[in-house]
């Protein structure tokens, strides 16, 4: 009994002290990222963005109110559960950011449920996440969901394409399987006929069988629902066999420089979706923190100078999120979990990745952000925005072989 | 004397680990849980290897157990112990099927068959989403999930049970028959040992154990998809643990499990921030361990003790080209 | 039935690629009985070698083959002497785990050095194809097939007719007798192993313009190569070739004719393997009894 009272007093005093002294101690945020294993690309870019932000914060938001503690979830479920357990019960972290990949984030849900810290997932477009915990107020999702991709794609196709036949090619992994029913729904609602659906093995060495069947079905549009590695194989085989389909719709991979380099000439005519593309979108600076959150092109210049590469979307997004968390902590005036969470929920700021304000989605997530998207097409080795009309600077062109 | 000491030590350890779930922090319990699961897997793999059947597809049993455990809970509402019972049956049946199908295959041939089976099951799980949830995955029904302490207790108890099974088997004719089969199947047959019967028994028991581990682990994690269920890494760990600990011994799998989990957590915590670094350490440990400690930690300890006991200890029997250690308690 | 000719073309070309993948493993396992679970990483390193040659020096991947092959022999032999020779006589699992550990280390080093981004080489012929009416023959895969054919022929001739080749076969048949015949057994083992790695590297260079190159590409290549080698029968290069084409045909046929076939195709390969092993454990053309 005495022990209980002593502990409660300590906690209360602790909160009080933190509230009085301001954020003297930095707020510790756990970053559970895929720093090895098959999703290392996502995790490492995110870490890079966060590191860059941490440095900028030291300079531009002194009193560094925030500190990130990294944990490698090794792109597998057991390590993710271990990492979450360690963060919540040992390190007693109230805030966690990551993981990024859909299956890894999904595997973290049961472990998250044990302690329900404030959880920001900058990735994971899987609808499973929304179904399971979307309505929880401790859950933040600064990323589009899979169905949002298809709302945009259907809208774009309706605008440009006359004969309404589509073939869908998808992989038998979580990406393909998640996106397929969503693509079907939104395409059918927009009046398209799906003339064939072909499944291919993830990491398939040869997709030609699927492409031959698609060629026989003679669609106007080919929609590819697959991740980067497979969409490289697909793009090359589509080009090699001079597939006579005029409109080639990719989803996510098209924006990645690695995809464009690996695919070479075959990239011509593929469309893709992005919330962010280097050199293509330019969000305005944040008037309160112009050095920390400058215009997107200024930020990109700083990134290029520092890392000698073009930034990826996840570099920019995690930079923006790290900065946003620091700002929320400053606004809260203390490290108390509920104050910071409230400040986080109330954020309404410009960032290098776009305007950050949490809104509800039609699928049930209460706090979603960063889900605006543009559709672009690779034309002459460059990305040309073709949708939505207010952002477009070009038109969708049919592929010629 | 040595045997008595070891037995007392074993009982002490068992009592200690059963007490831990009630008092230790979540982090420690999480580690011990992973040790327990790996221990069951390692004991299972060791049993099979002792009979000459090297399995490269242990993840098949793990995955089948995981799906059996989660699906029976989700569709029949079974609580954890009956669900584990279902997993036991599933694992035993799978083991029996493999035994009947592979007949007399040995060595790498058998191993490749198990690998093929494991990959085929993974593909099947991916291609039948109506049954298994497919690539999108499956969540265990939340309300059936027991509390953390109960789960840890069950995991630890299962591990102790697995070790006990191997102890019991080691003192029966079953064990000597298996060892004889491993050394020379022809000679064993001449002594009246029917290889097929023993192969069937070994694979069924081994399979059942591994499935138990998969099932309990799935209940702990709460989320399952074909890549998690049939993960190759499960197979790798199932082998590394007994080999590093001491192949064909009883304590070897246990020692090895502690070692592997310890090492993997260490590399994750210290090197986790660098991409690829934790897997690198794991690989290096494998290489160094195999090269410099081929009998494993426990096996080396035994050899050390045997040498100290003096020249009266019999030399281990074995063929000219291979070194197969005697089984020690 | 309309697909049939295209299916034939696809299957033949895929068979060529699979032969390429499996041939290195066939040599080191089939002839020297060395289990090399890092074979996939050898392919991966060859692919990266070709990629960096292409990116930094503008070197065509086919021109890169001699360089990566030489490097493969040398590095393979050294690794063998240092790590595998000491444990050659202990339990087979040790070889499996050791080489698996080597593979893991190589994979992690590749991730750390070159990141996990997908790469590819893009010589002009990578996206070329020949069209015959409705049929398409992709140029890159055709070249891969041709190289595979040349390599297999050379290997066959080497094994059968040269001194070194016969020495390697002697090793597989009877190690002690080979030693008594004056063959430097450790050196031969190292050489054959190195040759297997070199073949893997060559495969990698070819594959660099056909498939995406990532540090993780090795494992699926390893499994399939093993399945093919065992299917075709140990100790038989011709058997490996036959095994590769059997697997390629089965996979392609299923991909074309079974609904959702491409998803099931890989499982088919293993199902065939299973059946063949149970019915005829030596594989199709194997000469050794079960181990």
Fold of C2-279: ABC transporter involved in vitamin B12 uptake, BtuC (1.10.3470)
Asked if residues A233 and A207 have their Cβ atoms less than 8 Å apart, the reply is yes
CB B286 within 8 A of CB C104: yes
To the nearest whole angstrom, how far is the Cα of A73 from the nearest Cα of chain B?
Answer: 8
Tokens of C8: 């034939």
Least confident of A236-240, B28-32, B101-105, C138-142: B101-105
Which of A68, A144, A100, A94 has its CA nearest to residue A365? A144
Residue A317 CA to residue A302 CA, distance in Å, equals 15
Q: By C-alpha distance, which of C118, C100, C112 is closest to C40?
A: C100
| pLDDT of res. B95 | 93
Give the start-to-end residue ranges of the domains of chain B. 32-232
Identify which of A209, A242, A266 has the shortest CB distance to residue C10. Answer: A209
The tens-digit pLDDT sequence of chain C (291 residues) is 568 888 898 899 989 989 988 988 888 877 777 778 899 999 999 999 999 999 898 888 888 899 999 999 999 999 888 888 887 777 676 777 788 889 888 988 898 888 777 888 888 888 888 888 778 888 888 988 898 889 888 888 888 888 888 887 777 777 778 778 777 888 888 888 899 999 999 999 998 988 888 888 888 888 888 888 888 887 788 888 999 999 999 988 888 888 877 778 777 777 887 777 777 777 777 765 433
Nearest to C122 among A198, A199, A264 (CB): A264
Distance CA(A239)–CA(C138), nearest Å, equals 10
Q: How many residues does chain B have?
A: 329
Q: What pLDDT, on a 0 to 100 scale, did the predictor assign at position B275?
A: 57
Count CB neighbours of B198 within 10 A: 20
Touching A: C residues 37-76, CB under 8 Å: none
Contact check, Cβ <8 Å, A177/B231: no
pLDDT of residue C283: 75
Nearest Cα to Cα of residue B179 among B90, B53, B280, B41: B53
| Whether pLDDT at B301 is above 90 | no
Q: What is the C-alpha separation between C220 and A160, in angstroms, rounded?
A: 41
Distance CA B220, CA B155 (A): 9
Cβ neighbours for C269, distance < 8 A, ≥ 6 positions apart: C224, C227, C247, C250, C251
Measured in whole angstroms, how far is the alpha carbon of residue B322 from the centre of its chain?
A: 24
Cβ within 8 Å, pair C91-B247:
yes
The pair of structure tokens assigned to A195 is 């003339």
Residue A324: CB atoms within 10 Å: 23
What are the E-state strand segments in chain B? 138-139, 223-224
Q: Which of C274, C283, C288, C289 to mutate to test the interface with B (most CBs of B within 10 A)?
A: C274
Residue B278's pLDDT is 67
SS3 call for B93: helix
How far is the C-alpha of C270 from the C-alpha of B124, rounded, in Å? 12
* Each residue's pLDDT tens digit, B223-262: 888 888 888 778 878 887 887 788 788 888 999 899 888 8
Q: What is the pLDDT along chain A (401 residues), one digit of tens a residue?
A: 554 554 455 444 444 444 444 446 888 999 999 987 778 888 989 999 999 999 999 888 877 679 999 998 888 888 898 889 889 888 899 999 989 998 899 999 988 988 899 999 999 988 888 988 999 999 999 999 988 899 999 999 988 887 789 999 999 887 888 889 999 999 999 899 999 999 998 888 788 889 988 998 999 999 999 988 899 999 999 998 889 999 999 998 898 888 888 888 899 999 999 888 877 778 889 998 889 999 999 999 999 999 988 888 899 999 999 999 999 998 888 888 999 999 999 999 999 998 999 999 988 899 999 988 889 999 988 888 898 888 788 888 888 76
With beta carbons less than 8 A apart as the criterion, state whether B68 and B125 touch: no
Q: Could you give the CA distance from residue B129 to residue B131 in angstroms, rounded to a whole number?
A: 5
> 3-state DSSP call for residue C93?
helix
| Residue B281: predicted pLDDT | 76
| pLDDT at residue A246, as a whole number | 92
- Nearest Cβ partner for C262 among A199, A229, A263: A199
Chain C nearest-CA distance from A72, in A, is 14
| C chain contacts of residue B240, beta-carbon cutoff 8 Å | 97
d(CA A297, CA A279) in angstroms, rounded, equals 7
Q: Which ipTM score applies to this complex?
A: 0.79
Q: Where are the domains of chain C?
A: 2-279
Per DSSP, chain C holds a count of helices (H) and strands (E) of: 11, 2
Helix (H, G, I), strand (E, B) or coil at A378: strand
C-alpha to C-alpha distance for C200 and C34, rounded to whole angstroms: 15
- Give yes or no for a cis peptide into A388 (omega within 30° of 0): yes
Contact B268 A172 (CB under 8 A): no
Is-contact C235 C170, C-beta < 8 A?
Answer: no
Residue C63: CB partners within 8 Å, gap ≥ 6? C53
pLDDT for B9 beyond 70 = yes
Chain A CB within 8 Å of residue B135 CB = yes
CB A18 within 8 A of CB A25: yes
Indicate the length of chain A as a whole number.
401
Q: How long, in residues, is chain C?
A: 291
Query: Please, is B5 exposed, middle or buried when counting C-beta atoms within 10 Å of its C-beta (0-12, 13-18, 19+)?
Result: exposed
Contacts of C119 in chain A (CB under 8 A): 258, 261-262
pTM for the full model?
Answer: 0.80
| Secondary structure class of A63 (helix, strand, coil) | coil
Q: Which of C263, C267, C270 to mutate to test the interface with A (most CBs of A within 10 A)?
A: C263
What is the distance between the alpha carbons of residues C87 and C202, in angstroms, rounded to a whole number? 27
Q: Which two tokens stand for residue A173?
A: 């992994």
* CB-closest option in B103, B107, B283 to C92: B107
Residue A306 CA to residue C16 CA, distance in Å, equals: 45
Instruction: Specify the range with the lowest mean pLDDT, choosing from A30-39, B94-103, B274-283, C106-115.
Output: B274-283
Mode of pairing for the β-strands spanning A139-140 and A165-171: unpaired
For chain A, which chains pass the contact test of at least 3 CB pairs under 8 Å?
Answer: B, C
Distance from CA of B93 to the nearest CA of A (A): 27
Output the DSSP codes for A276-340: --TTT--PPPPSS-TTTS--HHHHHHHHHHHHSSPPPHHHHHHHHHHHHHHHHHHHHTS--HHHH
* % helix, strand, coil for chain B, step of 5: 80, 0, 20
In sequence order, the β-bridge partners of residue B136 are: none
φ, ψ of residue C270 to 5 degrees: the values are -75, -35
Tokens of A2: 């005495």
Residue numbers in C near B285 (CB within 8 A): 101
Burial (0-12, 13-18, 19+ Cβ within 10 Å), C56:
exposed
The first and second tokens of residue C16, run together, are: 């060529």
Binary contact (A36, C108; C-beta < 8 A): yes
| Residue B310 clears pLDDT 70, i.e. is over it | no
DSSP strand pairing (C129-132 vs C135-138): antiparallel
Question: Cβ neighbours of residue B249 under 8 Å, at least 6 residues apart?
Answer: B46, B296, B298, B299, B302, B325, B327, B328, B329
Rounded Cα gap, residues B272 and B266, in angstroms = 9
Q: A205, C17: Cβ pair inside 8 Å?
A: yes
**Going by C-beta distance under 8 Å and a sequence separation of 6 or more, which residues neighbour residue A281?**
A296, A354, A374
* Residue C85 contacts B, CB cutoff 8 Å: no
The verdict on a CB contact (< 8 Å) between B233 and A76 is yes
């Amino acid at each position: 009994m005495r022990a209980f009272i002593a502990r409660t007093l300590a906690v209360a005093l602790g909160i009080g002290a933190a509230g009085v002294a301001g954020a003297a101690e930095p707020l510790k945020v756990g970053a559970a990222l895929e720093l090895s294993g098959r999703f290392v690309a996502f995790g490492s870019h995110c870490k890079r963005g966060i590191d860059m932000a941490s440095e900028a914060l030291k300079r531009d938001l002194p009193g560094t109110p925030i500190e990130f503690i990294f944990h490698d979830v090794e792109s597998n479920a057991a390590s993710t559960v271990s990492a979450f357990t360690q963060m919540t019960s040992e390190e007693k972290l109230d805030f966690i950011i990551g993981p990024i990949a859909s299956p890894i984030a999904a595997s973290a849900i049961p472990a998250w449920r044990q302690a329900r810290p404030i959880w920001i997932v900058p990735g994971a477009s899987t609808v499973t996440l929304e179904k399971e915990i979307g309505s929880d107020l401790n859950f933040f999702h600064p990323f589009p969901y899979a169905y949002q991709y298809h709302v945009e794609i259907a809208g774009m196709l309706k605008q440009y394409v006359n004969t309404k036949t589509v073939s869908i090619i998808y992989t038998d992994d979580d990406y393909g399987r998640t996106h397929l029913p969503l693509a079907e729904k939104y395409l059918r609602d927009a009046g398209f006929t799906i003339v064939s659906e072909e499944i291919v093995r993830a990491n398939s060495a040869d997709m030609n069988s699927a492409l031959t069947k698609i060629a026989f079905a003679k669609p106007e549009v080919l929609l590819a629902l697959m991740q980067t590695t497979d969409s490289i194989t697909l793009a090359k085989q589509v080009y090699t066999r001079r597939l006579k389909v005029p409109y080639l719709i990719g989803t996510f991979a098209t924006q990645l420089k690695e995809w464009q380099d690996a695919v070479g000439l075959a990239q011509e005519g593929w469309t893709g979706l992005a919330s962010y593309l280097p050199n293509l979108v330019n969000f305005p600076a944040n008037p309160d923190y112009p050095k920390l959150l400058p215009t997107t092109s200024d930020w990109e210049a700083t990134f290029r100078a520092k890392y000698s590469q073009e930034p990826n979307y996840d570099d920019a997004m995690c930079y923006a999120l790290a900065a946003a968390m620091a700002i929320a902590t400053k606004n809260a005036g203390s490290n108390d979990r509920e104050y910071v969470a409230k400040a986080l929920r109330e954020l309404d700021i410009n960032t290098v990745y776009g305007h950050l304000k949490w809104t509800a989605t039609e699928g049930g997530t209460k706090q979603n952000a960063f889900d605006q998207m543009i559709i672009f097409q690779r034309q002459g080795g460059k990305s040309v925005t073709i949708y939505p009309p207010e952002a477009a600077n070009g038109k969708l062109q049919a592929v010629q072989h | 004397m040595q045997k008595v000491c070891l037995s007392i030590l074993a009982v002490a350890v068992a009592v200690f680990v059963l007490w831990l779930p009630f008092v230790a922090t979540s982090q420690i319990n999480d580690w011990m849980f992973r040790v327990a699961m790996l221990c069951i897997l390692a004991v299972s793999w060791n049993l099979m290897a002792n009979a000459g059947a090297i399995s490269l597809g242990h993840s098949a049993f793990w995955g089948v157990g995981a799906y059996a455990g989660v699906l029976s809970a989700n569709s029949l509402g079974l609580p954890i112990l009956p669900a584990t019972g279902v997993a036991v049956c599933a694992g035993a049946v799978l083991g029996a099927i493999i035994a009947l199908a592979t007949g007399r295959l040995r060595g790498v041939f058998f191993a490749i068959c198990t690998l093929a089976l494991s990959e085929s099951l993974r593909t099947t799980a991916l291609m039948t989403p109506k049954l298994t949830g497919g690539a999108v995955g499956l969540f265990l029904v939340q309300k059936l999930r027991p509390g953390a302490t109960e789960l840890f207790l069950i995991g630890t108890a299962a591990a102790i049970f697995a070790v006990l099974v191997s102890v019991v088997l080691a003192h029966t004719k079953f064990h000597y028959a298996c060892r004889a089969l491993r050394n020379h199947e022809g000679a064993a047959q001449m002594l009246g040992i029917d290889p097929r019967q023993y192969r069937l028994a070994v694979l069924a028991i081994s399979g059942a154990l591994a499935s138990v581990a998969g099932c309990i682990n799935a209940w702990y994690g709460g989320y399952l998809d074909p890549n998690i269920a049939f993960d190759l890494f499960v197979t790798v760990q199932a082998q590394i643990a007994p080999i590093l600990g001491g192949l064909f011994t009883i304590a070897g799998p246990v020692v090895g499990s502690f070692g592997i989990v310890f090492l993997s957590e260490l590399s994750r915590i210290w090197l986790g921030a660098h991409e690829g670094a934790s897997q690198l350490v794991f690989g290096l440990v494998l290489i160094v361990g195999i090269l410099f400690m081929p009998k494993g930690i426990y096996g080396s300890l035994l050899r050390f003790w045997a040498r100290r006991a003096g020249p009266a200890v019999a030399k281990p029997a074995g063929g000219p080209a291979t070194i197969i250690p005697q089984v020690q308690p | 039935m309309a697909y049939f000719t295209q299916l034939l073309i696809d299957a033949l070309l895929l068979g060529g690629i699979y032969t390429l993948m499996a041939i290195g493993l066939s040599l080191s396992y089939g002839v020297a009985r060395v289990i090399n679970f890092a074979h996939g990483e050898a392919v991966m390193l060859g692919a990266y070698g070709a990629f960096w040659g292409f990116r930094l020096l503008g070197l065509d991947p086919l021109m890169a083959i001699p360089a990566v092959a030489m490097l493969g022999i040398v590095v393979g032999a050294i690794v063998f002497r240092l790590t595998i020779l000491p444990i050659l006589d202990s339990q087979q699992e040790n070889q499996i785990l050791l080489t698996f550990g080597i593979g893991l280390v190589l994979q992690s080093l590749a991730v750390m050095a070159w990141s996990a981004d997908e790469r590819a080489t893009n010589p002009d012929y990578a996206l070329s194809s020949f069209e015959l009416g409705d049929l398409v023959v992709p140029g890159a895969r055709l070249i891969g097939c041709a190289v595979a054919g040349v390599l297999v022929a050379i290997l066959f001739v080497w094994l059968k007719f040269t001194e070194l080749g016969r020495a390697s076969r002697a090793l597989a048949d009877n190690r002690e007798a080979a030693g008594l015949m004056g063959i430097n057994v450790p050196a031969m083992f190292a050489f054959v192993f190195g040759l297997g790695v070199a073949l893997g590297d060559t495969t990698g260079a070819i594959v660099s313009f056909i498939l995406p190159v990532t540090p993780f590409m090795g494992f699926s290549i390893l499994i399939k190569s093993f399945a093919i080698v065992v299917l075709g029968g140990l100790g038989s290069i011709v058997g490996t070739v036959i095994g590769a084409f059997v697997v390629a045909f089965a996979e392609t046929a299923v991909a074309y004719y079974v609904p959702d076939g491409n998803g099931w195709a890989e499982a088919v390969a293993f199902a065939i393997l299973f059946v063949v092993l149970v019915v005829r454990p030596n594989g199709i053309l194997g000469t050794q009894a079960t181990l």
